[in-house]
Amino acid sequence: MMSQPNFARRVADATHLQSQQSYDVLYLENLASIRWLTGFAGSVASAQIGSNGVELFVDSRYEEYANDLPAIQSGVAQLSIVRGGATADVVVQRVSNKAVGVEPSLAAASYVQLKESCRQVEIVKSHCVTTLRRVKDSYEISLTKQAVAIAEQAFLETLSAKCIGESERSFRRSLDAQMLRLGAEGFGFDTMVLSGKNAAQPHGQPSKKRIEKSELIIVDWGAQLDGYRSDTSRTVFQGRLSKEAQLLFEAITEIVEVVTSKIIPGTTYGEVMQAAYSVLARYDHEGTTLADYIAHPFGHNVGLEIHEYPFFSLNETREILEGELVAFEPAIYVPDVGGVRIENMVHATKNGAEVLNTLPNGIEIRA
């Protein structure tokens, strides 16, 4: 396992891939892509990839910090201080007068700025860096495994009979505090705790509602280490569940047990989603099937961003690549019943689907 990212390899791969494109340089504002290339973890920067490699642009606030980055110190990437701000038009005018590639995530304001200030420059959509970021190296996998371990331990230390009767918000505060205590530098995203009818909301906000016995409780949480994030969901309960709630649990558990093994190189994201859909289509609920209650894709790539492409949707034709790291999250939500979501992080390897999580799929809170 590498002790730090191999920025030289990343820059070389990005420069090689960029050289095969129809534009002169690739302009970046996405902070995750910039961090992946240079290690820069500040809040404002831009970068460009051209024939001479990678150049990082920051303003004077970050000059000392950026100069100390290993990628800059080693000469893997170059640093330029842009007085007055590294805005898109300033950077592009310095590096190209023909064609420039931009990531689809480029802010609309920056795109308009480019169109208005650099009228002679052709703007081309590019997926170069995001494509390279899909395949994780040993450093990234190791960090993510550590983040998963921290998140799971924090969850186990938070979950107890005492949570029955406390509010969703209180449970979230306790879980977040435990992750920080165990060494997380931050959270993978805003922790979600939803119970009872609230659990029928795919992405609701924790409320003052008190958690009660015999209801479904969805917890979606993750830890962050050196920018890399974990993403896990579990549905927990105490006491006897209704028949409807038991049906949801049974269906989602079957998907996890049967479909996870299909997350291997060469399988398309759509094929995985179709396999999950087929399971739900066999479960009846009030004259329809549970497949009719699908509310979102069943997962996504994870890395320096919590939601990275591709997603597990029925129409996604891209194949899973060896080395990709995904969050697989089959879920179903039924009004007035609640919801069940079980989410694991899975590493697609040549030997099969490696599940990074160790928590059981179904968790009952013991009295």
> Would 1 be classed as within a structural domain?
no
Strands 186-187 and 192-195: unpaired
Which one of 83, 98, 133 terminates a domain? 133
User: Where is the domain boundary, 65, 99, 133?
Assistant: 133
Portion of the chain with pLDDT greater than 70, in percent: 95
pLDDT in the model for residue 85:
61
| Model confidence pLDDT, tens digit, residues 173-231 | 999 999 999 999 999 999 999 999 999 999 899 999 999 999 999 999 999 999 999 99
Exposure string of 148-157, with b = 16+ CB inside 10 Å and e = fewer, is bbbbbbbbee
Domain count, the chain: 2
Whether residues 162 and 71 share a domain: the answer is: no
Contact 136, 323 (CB under 8 A): yes
If asked whether residues 173 and 311 sit together in one domain, one would say yes
Place of tokens 């505090």: 177
Q: Pick the residue with more confidence: 7 or 86?
A: 7
Q: Where are the alpha helices (DSSP H) in the chain?
A: 7-19, 31-38, 63-67, 70-73, 88-95, 108-117, 128-134, 138-158, 168-181, 243-259, 269-280
> Looking at the structure, do residues 123 and 193 belong to the same domain, yes or no?
no
Same domain as 99, residue 156: no
3-state secondary structure 215-272: CCEEEEECEEECCEECCEEEEEECCCCCHHHHHHHHHHHHHHHHHHHHCCCCCEHHHH
In this structure, the answer to whether residues 22 and 84 fall within a common structural domain is: yes
The CATH number linked to 111 is 3.40.350.10
Q: Taking the complete model, does pTM exceed 0.75, yes or no?
A: yes
**What's the domain range around 299?**
138-364
Confidence of residue 344 (pLDDT cuts 50, 70, 90): very high
Gap between the Cα atoms of 343 and 346, Å rounded: 10
pLDDT for 86 beyond 60: no
In a domain, 169, yes or no: yes
Q: Choose among 58, 66, 74: nearest CA to 10.
A: 74
Render pLDDT for 169-178 as a digit per residue (tens, 0 to 9): 999 999 999 9
> Residue 230, by phi and psi: left (phi above 0), alpha (psi -120 to 50) or beta?
beta
- Looking at the structure, tell me whether residues 119 and 178 fall in a common domain: no
CATH, residue 182: 3.90.230.10
Question: In the listed set 99, 133, 167, which residue is the last one of a domain according to the structure?
Answer: 133
**Whether residue 330 sits in one domain with residue 215:** yes
- 195 & 318 share domain: yes
Instruction: State the chain's mean pLDDT as an integer.
Output: 93
